[in-house]
Structure 1
Amino acid sequence: MSVNEEKYVEQREASGPLITAVVAVVLAVGALIWCFGLHNHLETDEANLATATQRNIELAKKLEATNAQLQATSETLGQSVGMTQKQLEARATAIMAAQRASTAKIEHEQEVNAKQIGAVASDVSAVKTDVGGVKTDVGGVKTDVASTKQDLEDTKVQLQRVVGDAGVMSGQIATTHAELEVLKHKGDRNYYEFTLHKGQQPLLLSSIKLQLKKADEKHSKFTLNVSADDKNIEKKDKGLDEPVQFYTGKTPVLYELVVNQISKNQVTGYLSTPKGAS
């Protein structure tokens, strides 16, 4: 072996441990780098896992709340459906009862009508039998009706003659405008219609003045002042259609007034005076 070859061998033998040491250092550094990277990767995975776990917990809670709401809604719907069913059944029962009652009522009315028709038929037969006798009595009935009508007219006239508040038997009293027109056409007395309002100045009629003091529509009462011969006479709490009487004139004659209508703060009627009175 030459000298150079020996040196090369010596150098190779001397550099062998160095290379091994370098390789070992490189491997150690690489192992450290890999361990560090793995550690970081594990921390990231652990953080992601914790986040995912927290999300799963929250989702589970929301799922439980949703299930509870669905269960409550289902129970409410079940109760509502149950109540609706009961209401429908009760309504149907009421309708059927009403129909039965209506049917029974109609049947009863038909039965009553049938009985009435039978009774009317019997009465018609009896009327037909008596028609001859009725025709015979028609003339007498007409005479009786005329007599009765005259009696009623006489009674009506008598009823219209009443005693006034002065104790004097009054003439015929008119309770309506139409009846007053009848009295005017008879020509026995003078008649003056009037309407008095509470609070107004006295109204001059013939030779007297009238002034309304009170009108009680509810109790059909009125109060008024009569001015005659320079004197005031209060006619207090007089009634509807009541003859209110007083004497006036140099030769005193009977004046009479009647109120036919009483409303709020107003009365309407007429004054009756003898023929020839001023």
Structure 2
Amino acid sequence: MLEPDPNREYVDPSRGNAERHGAWLPIATATALVLAIGALLWAFLLQQRLTDTEEKLMVAEQGSTAINRRLEEADARLRANSAMVDQQMTAAQQRQQELAQRAAALAAQQKSDATRLEASQADTSKQLGAVKGEVSSVKTEVATTKTDVAATRTDLADTKQILQRTIGDAGVMSGLIAKNHDELEVLKHRGDRSYYEFTLHKNAPPTLLSTVKLQLKKTNEKKGRYTLMVSSDDRNIEKKDKTVLEPVQFYSGKNPQLFEVMVNSISKDVVGGYLSVPKGE
């Protein structure tokens, strides 16, 4: 066993460890302090980022709310516009149906007028045939009147060539038109309608003819135009700016039939002509 050297200094091992620990303590403390400061700084930065993120989310939510509100407003406007379009389409369809009904009614009226005209023409032909038969019989029985009858028939044929037909202001084919008193007498002898001659003065009281009252409101001799007020079936009808020899037509009576006013002469504040009405009116 070795003996300790009395000349050698003794070193305590535990003292060396204490010295070493004492040297590392400041370093560890500084390191811990740095780490703590870093952790606090990181926590502060993280909190700041969280705050920024929350603000951005809040702004985004507000923007989303505004967008949703705009979308709702746009949807409401779209629904309102759609409802308006539906109403307009419904109104257009109703208007189309009304026009179709009016067209059908006009077509039926035209067909009825055409049928009535054909019947009137047929009656006129029968009446003319009857008159011709009677004239032939008279010619055979009375020899002394042959020349007069022949002359009368010639005049009647000439007058028929002068008489004309035209479309009236109601869109209906008029009867034969008499341009003067003599031609009107021929029409009267046909017997298919009744004729009432008149002379109307401007602003004079209404003139009663059959069941109709006529009153002259205005004349234009230069242009051959006049304005007439027709009173029929408790209705007043203004026939404005009509021309000479233009059939002025209207319907009257319990079972409405075609009436015609024919002005064949015009002068300053005065017109002359006749009213043509169906038999029995």
* TM-score normalised by L of structure 2: 0.45
* TM-score normalised by L of structure 1: 0.45
Looking at CA atoms only, which structure, 1 or 2, has the larger radius of gyration?
1
